[in-house]
Structure 1
Amino acid sequence: MWGIGRIKAAFKHCAAAIGRLPAAFWFGVCALLVCALAYITGAAFAVVAALALMGGVGLAAGLRRLRPAGISATDGPPAGTARLEELADRMWEMQESEQRFYGLLEALGDLVVHRDRDGRILYANRVFAELVECEPRELVGKTLTQFGVDIGVVPDSAFSEGESLSSTDVAIHARGGLRWFSWTELSRRDHDSGTVSHWAIARDITARKRAETALVNARERAEQASLAKSRFLATVSHEIRTPMNGIMGMATLLADTRLSAEQRTYVSAVSTSASALLALIEDLLDYSKIEAGRLALEPQQVSIRELVESIVELMASRAFGKDIGLGCHIAPDVPETITADPGRLRQILLNLLGNAVKFTEEGGVLVTVTTAAVGGKPALAIRVDDTGPGLDEAAVARIFNEFEQADGSSTRRHGGAGLGLAITSRLVEAMEGSIAVDSAPGEGAAFTVCLPVGETTPAEHALALKGWTVAIITPHAVEGEALAMTVRAHGGKAEIFDGETSAVALLRRRNTGFDAVIIDAALEDEKAGLLSRLRRKGLRMKLALTLIAPTDRGRLASFRANGYGVFLARPARGRTLLRLLLNEGPRTDDSQAVEVRPARRSGPARAADTALRVLIAEDNEINAMLARVALTRAGHRVTLVTTGRAAVDALARPARDHDIVLMDLHMPVMDGLDAIANIRRYEEETGLAPIPILVLSADGQEKTRHGVLAHGANGFVTKPLDPDRLLAALETHAVV
Structure 2
Amino acid sequence: MPANTPLKAKPGRAFLALAGLVVIAAIAFLTLNVQREIRQLGSAQSDNVQWSLAQAEVEYLEYTRQLEIAPTNLVTLRRRFDVFYSRVNTLTTASVFAGLRADPEAQDKLEQISGFLDQTVPVIDANDDVVLARLDDLRAMAAEIRPTVRLLAKSGLDVFARAADQQRALVARTMTQLAFALACLIGALFLGVMYLNRLNAQVAGRERAQSQIATRMNTVISTSLDAMIVSDAEGRIIEFNPAAEAIFGHHAEDVRGKDIAKIIVPDHLRDAHYAGMERMRRSGERRVVGKGRVQLEGKRANGDTFPVELALQSAKTDDGEIFIAYLRDISKRVANEHALVEARDKALAGEKLKTDFLATMSHEIRTPLNGLLGNMNLLRDTRLSKEQDRYLGYMESSGRLLMSHISDVLDITRYDAGKLDTRREAVNISALLEDIVDNQSATAADNETSLEWGWDGPPMHWIVSDHDRLQHVMMNLIGNAVKFTRRGKVSITASVHTEPDQSLLTLQIADTGEGIEDKLVGQIFDDFLIGNTKRNREVGGTGLGLGIAKRFVQALGGKIEVESALNEGSTFTVKLPVTAAEPPAEDTTPPALLQATRTMRVLIVEDNEVNRVVARTMLEADGHIVLEAHDGREGADLAAVEAFDLIFMDINMPVMDGRTAARHIRSAGGVSANVPIIALTANAMASEQADLLQDGMNDVLTKPLSRDALRQVLADYQSAQPTNIWPVVDADHTAETRLALGEVAFAKLTSQFSHEVEDLLQWLGSDDAHDYLDVASRSHKVAGSAAVFGATALREALKVIETAAKTGDHATLRREINTLAPIWSATKHDLL
- TM-score normalised to the size of structure 1? 0.56
Aligned match of 1:118: 234
Distance change (3 Å), C-alpha of 1:621 and 1:327: farther
Is the 2:408–2:544 contact (alpha carbons within 8 Å) kept by the matching residues of 1? no
Aligned match of 2:62: none
Distance of 1:95 and 1:622 partners within structure 2:
94
Residue 297 of structure 2, aligned match among 171, 185, 206: 171
Aligned match of 2:317: 190
Residue 595 of structure 2, aligned match among 576, 588, 603: 603
Distance change (3 Å), C-alpha of 1:660 and 1:408: closer
Aligned match of 1:280: 405
The one-letter code sitting in structure 2 at the alignment partner of 1:147 is I
Q: Secondary structure at the match of 2:315?
A: strand
The one-letter code sitting in structure 1 at the alignment partner of 2:595 is G
Aligned match of 1:233: 358
| 1:269 Cα offset (Å) | 7.4
Superposed, which structure 2 residues align to 1:216-615 within 5 Å? 216-250=341-375, 252-253=377-378, 274-300=399-425, 324-325=447-448, 328-329=451-452, 340-353=465-478, 355-356=480-481, 362-363=486-487, 366=490, 368-375=491-498, 384-386=509-511, 388-401=513-526, 406=531, 418-449=543-574, 452=578, 454-455=580-581, 602-603=594-595, 606=598, 611-615=599-603
Is the 2:497–2:505 contact (alpha carbons within 8 Å) kept by the matching residues of 1? no
| 1:665 Cα offset (Å) | 0.5
Q: What do residues 183-226 of structure 1 show as CA deviations (whole Å, max 9, x unaligned)?
A: 221223333x5x33322122444454445444444433333332
Q: Secondary structure at the match of 1:240?
A: helix
Distance of 2:434 and 2:251 partners within structure 1:
88
Seq. identity, %: 32
| 1:237 Cα offset (Å) | 2.0
Distance change (3 Å), C-alpha of 1:401 and 1:657: closer
For the aligned residue pairs, the C-alpha RMSD in angstroms reads 4.9
Distance change (3 Å), C-alpha of 1:234 and 1:416: same
| 1:363 Cα offset (Å) | 3.9
The one-letter code sitting in structure 1 at the alignment partner of 2:660 is D
Residue 158 of structure 1, aligned match among 279, 284, 288: 284
Q: Secondary structure at the match of 2:652?
A: coil
| 1:640 Cα offset (Å) | 1.8
The one-letter code sitting in structure 2 at the alignment partner of 1:241 is R
Residue 710 of structure 2, aligned match among 712, 723, 728: 723
Instruction: State whether structure 2 residue 637 is matched by structure 1 residue 649.
Output: yes
Distance of 1:380 and 1:297 partners within structure 2:
17
Residue 264 of structure 2, aligned match among 147, 155, 165: 147
Aligned match of 2:3: 3
Q: What do residues 445-500 of structure 1 show as CA deviations (whole Å, max 9, x unaligned)?
A: 23344555843769xxxxxxxxxxxxxxxxxxxxxxxxxxxxxxxxxxxxxxxxxx
Aligned match of 2:687: 703
Q: What do residues 148-207 of structure 1 show as CA deviations (whole Å, max 9, x unaligned)?
A: 4559525135389xx83653123335579865433221223333x5x3332212244445
Distance of 1:177 and 1:418 partners within structure 2:
58
Distance change (3 Å), C-alpha of 1:628 and 1:325: farther
The one-letter code sitting in structure 1 at the alignment partner of 2:410 is L
Q: What do residues 272-309 of structure 1 show as CA deviations (whole Å, max 9, x unaligned)?
A: 66445433322222222222333221244567688667
Aligned match of 2:244: 128
Distance of 1:621 and 1:293 partners within structure 2:
36
Is the 2:460–2:580 contact (alpha carbons within 8 Å) kept by the matching residues of 1? no
| 1:398 Cα offset (Å) | 3.8
Is the 2:228–2:244 contact (alpha carbons within 8 Å) kept by the matching residues of 1? yes
Larger mean CA deviation between 331-340 and 274-283 belongs to 331-340
Q: What do residues 28-68 of structure 1 show as CA deviations (whole Å, max 9, x unaligned)?
A: xxxxxxxxxxxxxxxxxxxxxxxxxxxxxxxxxxxxxxxxx
Distance of 2:608 and 2:249 partners within structure 1:
72
Q: Secondary structure at the match of 1:164?
A: coil
Is the 1:238–1:699 contact (alpha carbons within 8 Å) kept by the matching residues of 2? yes
The one-letter code sitting in structure 1 at the alignment partner of 2:264 is F
Distance change (3 Å), C-alpha of 1:642 and 1:201: same
| 1:380 Cα offset (Å) | 7.0
Q: Would you tell me which structure has more helix in proportion to its own residues?
A: 2
| 1:637 Cα offset (Å) | 0.5
Q: Secondary structure at the match of 1:233?
A: helix
Q: Secondary structure at the match of 2:607?
A: coil
- For structure 2, the 5+ residue unaligned runs are 7-206, 585-590, 724-832
Aligned match of 1:46: none
Distance change (3 Å), C-alpha of 1:687 and 1:397: closer
Aligned match of 2:795: none
Distance of 2:612 and 2:434 partners within structure 1:
34
Q: What do residues 639-692 of structure 1 show as CA deviations (whole Å, max 9, x unaligned)?
A: 12222232133234xx42433311100123332123223434432xx7985443
Instruction: State whether structure 2 residue 790 is matched by structure 1 residue 667.
Output: no
Distance of 2:533 and 2:3 partners within structure 1:
71
Aligned match of 1:624: 612
Distance change (3 Å), C-alpha of 1:304 and 1:636: farther
Instruction: State whether structure 2 residue 628 is matched by structure 1 residue 640.
Output: yes
| 1:638 Cα offset (Å) | 0.6
| 1:111 Cα offset (Å) | 1.0
Is the 1:692–1:733 contact (alpha carbons within 8 Å) kept by the matching residues of 2? no
Distance change (3 Å), C-alpha of 1:298 and 1:104: closer
Distance of 1:265 and 1:387 partners within structure 2:
35
Is the 1:302–1:342 contact (alpha carbons within 8 Å) kept by the matching residues of 2? yes
Distance change (3 Å), C-alpha of 1:166 and 1:440: closer
The one-letter code sitting in structure 2 at the alignment partner of 1:231 is D
Residue 326 of structure 2, aligned match among 196, 201, 222: 201
- TM-score normalised to the size of structure 2? 0.50
Is the 2:603–2:629 contact (alpha carbons within 8 Å) kept by the matching residues of 1? yes
| 1:351 Cα offset (Å) | 3.0
Distance of 1:404 and 1:280 partners within structure 2:
15
Is the 1:386–1:444 contact (alpha carbons within 8 Å) kept by the matching residues of 2? yes
The one-letter code sitting in structure 1 at the alignment partner of 2:619 is L
Distance of 1:123 and 1:136 partners within structure 2:
7
Aligned match of 1:682: 668
Distance change (3 Å), C-alpha of 1:134 and 1:662: same
Distance change (3 Å), C-alpha of 1:95 and 1:716: closer
Q: Secondary structure at the match of 2:356?
A: helix
Q: What do residues 582-639 of structure 1 show as CA deviations (whole Å, max 9, x unaligned)?
A: xxxxxxxxxxxxxxxxx99743653xxxx22111012334432332233223321011
Distance of 2:471 and 2:659 partners within structure 1:
34
The alignment covers a number of residue pairs equal to 498
Is the 2:632–2:658 contact (alpha carbons within 8 Å) kept by the matching residues of 1? yes
Distance change (3 Å), C-alpha of 1:268 and 1:118: same
Distance of 2:616 and 2:592 partners within structure 1:
17
Aligned match of 2:676: 692
Distance of 2:470 and 2:386 partners within structure 1:
30
Distance of 1:370 and 1:166 partners within structure 2:
60
The one-letter code sitting in structure 2 at the alignment partner of 1:124 is F
